[in-house]
Structure 1
Amino acid sequence: MLAVLGSMKGENSREERRSKEEKRSREERRLIEERRLIEEKRLIEERRLIEERRLIEERRLIEERRLMEEKRLIEERRLIEENRLMEEKYFMESLLSVEKAKCKEFERLIPGFIARKLDFPTLSGFYEHWEACDECKEELSIQYLVREGMQRLEEGSAFDLQSELDQRLEEARRKINSHSAFLYLGMTMEIMVSCLLVWVFVWILL
């Protein structure tokens, strides 16, 4: 009887130990699974953070490239604008230089105009510049009034120099127009004669 009781007690003890061992094993598996899930979450979070940092870095690089491109375009436009302004400045300086040269040449020709000694090409250029340049109009008036006025004062005769200058300019204009018409007529006649000669030549060949 005692042996049976001892055997049963031993069986209960072994069952308890087995049950405890199973419980401990389940608890260990649960803890291992929890740690695995925690580690997975940590890895997922790390990957998310890494991806976020990658995207932030990509956006930063894209923004840097955009800003660099904007700066490059702004610099290009600035250089183009500078070149345009320099070209305009050079062009204006060239025009001013040409105009100054024309004005100097006009002033040099004033005595010849007053004395009616300018030939047709020179007179034509002189009159064309006079029409376009207010300063030279004034200079012509001053020199004409001074030269002719001194002479008239010495002669003691009455005079209206501005009207005389206007008449002199009108005379120059008519002279230029008539000479231009004559040149045009001459060129027209030359063309007609040339065409006639060509026609005669072709007629002879045929």
Structure 2
Amino acid sequence: MTCEEAERLVMPYINGSITDEELEGFLKHIEHCPECREELEIYFTVDVGIRQLDEGTGTYNIKGALETALELSRQRIHTLELLRTAVYAVNTLCFWSVLMVLFLQVRIWEQFGF
């Protein structure tokens, strides 16, 4: 992911409207690009600060709130990867199970002369 693409995804990330595929690339880019990370921190600080002013409540540890949000996003990506792996494993088991049933059925038909 380029810096331009990451910068385009800063606000969707903050608003929670980023797709899972975009989120994965965005997080990887943010971890390795200090300029984009700084831009995310600035936008996040402004957005959270404005929301807290509007609501009259909130935490004053905005940097901590960003770290919490990023950690939750990383956990989401990790969970999705585990889910993809589980789906792949189940699909593979189903395929081999169906293949084995067909093989056994053909053997039964052969025994009875069908």
C-alpha distance in 2 between matches for 1:177 and 1:183? 10
Gaps of 5+ in 1: 1-98
- Give the C-alpha shift of residue 150 in structure 1: 2.7
**2: CA distance between counterparts of 1:177 and 1:201?**
36
**CA–CA distance in 1 between the matches of 2:104 and 2:33?**
54
Which residue matches 2:83? 182
Match of 1:192 in 2: 93
Please, what is the CA RMSD of the aligned residues?
1.5
Aligned partners of 1:199 and 1:155: how far apart in 2?
61
The alpha-carbon deviation at position 137 of structure 1 amounts to 1.0
Report the Cα offset of residue 153 of structure 1.
3.1
Measure, in 2, the Cα distance between the counterparts of 1:107 and 1:122: 12
Higher relative contact order (CA 8 A, sep 6+): 2
Structure 2 unmatched runs, 5+: 108-114
Aligned to 2:112: none
SS of equivalent to 2:57: coil
Describe the SS at the equivalent of 1:197. Answer: helix
1:201 CA drift (Å): 1.4
Residues 17-76 of structure 1 deviation map (CA, whole Å, 9 limit, x = unaligned): xxxxxxxxxxxxxxxxxxxxxxxxxxxxxxxxxxxxxxxxxxxxxxxxxxxxxxxxxxxx
Deviation of residue 109 (structure 1)? 0.9
Count of residues in Structure 1 that have an aligned counterpart in Structure 2: 106
Shift in Å at residue 133 of structure 1?
A: 1.4
d(CA) in 2 for partners of 1:202, 1:156 = 68
Give the Cα–Cα distance (whole angstroms) in 2 for the partners of residues 123 and 145 of structure 1: 19
The AA in structure 2 aligned to 1:164 is A
Which structure 2 residues correspond to residues 121-140 of structure 1 after superposition, within 5 A?
Answer: 121-140=21-40
Task: Tell which structure's C-alpha radius of gyration is larger.
Answer: 1
Counterpart residue identity of residue 146, structure 1: V
More helix by share: 1
The sequence identity of aligned pairs, in percent, is: 27
Superposed CA offset, 1:124-181 (max 9, x none): 1111111221211111111111222233234443521100000000110111111110
